Amino acid sequence: MEADGFMSRRTSVEAAGVDSRVGGAAAGAEIRWLGGRLLGTTGGFHISPRMTGEQDFAPVSHRSTSDISTSLETEIDYEGLPQGMATSTHMLAGAVAGIMEHCLMYPIDCVKTRMQSLHPEPGARYRNVMDALRQIVQTEGVWRPIRGVNVLAVGAGPAHALYFACYEKIKFSLSDAIHPGTNSHFANGVAGCVATLLHDAIMNPAEVVKQRMQMFNSPYRGVLDCVGSLLRHEGPAAFYRSYTTQLTMNVPFQALHFMTYEYLQELLNPHRQYNPSSHVVSGALAGALAAAATSPLDVCKTLLNTQEAQAVRHISGLGEAFRMVYRMGGIPAFFKGVQARVIYQMPSTAISWSVYEFFKYIITKRQHERRLHGDRDGDK
């Protein structure tokens, strides 16, 4: 059901014989609120706001089953997912979106990791993102910018599946509890924060291995060699050494990201229809803002994951990482690689949201079509 541009659950008319003037309106007819009027999708009637001199109910001629089916097919409410199918839909769409997002933007992510290095070697000093990509390809080979992408793809699928499913479930449940039928920025922020806890629990080990593989002169032959070396020399705790820092960064990042995205959707896509351009623009701007705001925490996370300063001493914990970053470069060090981070996050979140919304729309459309075919077979 759509109310003032926001989707909520559909309701049904439970009482039989709503008004004697409405001919053929069956009990239990499904209704939707569209543009200030109630539209009966099964009973063949609509209820308009009463104007002076008008009757309460305006009868509408009955439509054939094929006409009703055609109308339903062209008005698929992909935000109002069918009961029992919503979670699987969000998880599948989220998994595809996460894998595509991380794999397509992986070369920029590699550059970001290197540019955040506190004391880069002479061969890893770059002027900007394009200069970094050019140097990496020329000196280390064309495949070097995507080294370690396989471990990230393995982690991104399940992580983003839980991420989007949790976000959608909490967002709608909390919004309904706070203000039924409308969007709540507070609910969006809380949903983003809770979804991040699940996402980071799965992604953190993949992030550690990925960043070790991305560093200049990385000593590891491959992903399995990196995992084995970490287990032998640093123990299982190495995979979660930066988890608290990751959460400290990602909780405000995702809260700001989701609130900005939903706010921009209200402006650009108030009826919450499937609109690719609005998803791309909202996702890109939300990602850029959140990335720039949380860049200092990302630098600390990279330091904890790579332990590049361990020649000085072993680093553990966000507070120690903050002190080490400040000692080695002052305030500017907290914004090392911020350009690469914003350039990475803008298309990354745009891809994530547009792919997620597209697959959610396609999957929901197919579910509606299967239900329609089932109803037709049942009528026969």
pLDDT score, position 118: 78
Looking at the predicted structure, is the pLDDT value of residue 122 above 90?
A: no
| Length of the chain in terms of residues written | 380
175 or 378: whose pLDDT is higher?
175
Percent of the chain whose predicted confidence (pLDDT) is above 90: 36
Looking at the predicted structure, is the pLDDT value of residue 132 above 60?
A: yes
Residue 278 φ then ψ, to 5°: -70, -35
pLDDT score, position 380: 63
Mean pLDDT for 171-190 is: 85
Residue 308: which of 214, 168, 182, 199 has the closest Cα?
Answer: 214
pLDDT score, position 372: 83
pLDDT score, position 29: 37
pLDDT score, position 223: 93
Torsion of CA 241, 210, 260, 342, to 10 degrees: 120
Q: CA 227, 229, 231: angle at the middle one, nearest 5?
A: 70
pLDDT score, position 37: 35
Residue 152: which of 187, 194, 104 has the closest Cα?
Answer: 104
Question: Domains in the chain, ordered, with CATH?
Answer: 87-369 (1.50.40.10)
pLDDT score, position 138: 93
Looking at the predicted structure, is the pLDDT value of residue 49 above 70?
A: no
| Residues 145-167: tens digit of each pLDDT | 999 999 999 999 999 999 988 98
Q: Residue 15, class by beta-carbon neighbours within 10 Å (0-12 exposed, 13-18 middle, 19+ buried)?
A: exposed
pLDDT score, position 51: 43
pLDDT score, position 88: 81
Q: Is the dihedral of CA 255, 259, 260, 262 positive or negative?
A: positive
pLDDT score, position 130: 92
Range from 56-60, 120-124, 266-270, 342-346 carrying the lowest mean pLDDT: 56-60
**CB atoms near residue 374 (< 10 Å):** 10
The pTM assigned to this predicted structure is 0.65
pLDDT score, position 31: 34
Task: Find out whether 257 and 353 touch, Cβ atoms under 8 Å.
Answer: no
| Residues 271-303: tens digit of each pLDDT | 888 899 999 999 999 999 999 999 999 998 888
Q: CA 60, 62, 67: angle at the middle one, nearest 5?
A: 115
pLDDT score, position 313: 62
Looking at the predicted structure, is the pLDDT value of residue 55 above 70?
A: no
* Start-end of H helices in 215-337: 223-233, 243-268, 276-293, 295-306, 318-333
pLDDT score, position 79: 52
| Interatomic CA distance for residues 119 and 324, integer angstroms | 12
pLDDT score, position 289: 94
Q: Report the run of H or E that residue 34 belongs to, with start and end.
A: strand 30-34
- Under 8 Å CB-to-CB from 289, ≥6 apart: which residues? 256, 257, 260
| Residues 250-267: tens digit of each pLDDT | 888 988 998 999 899 999
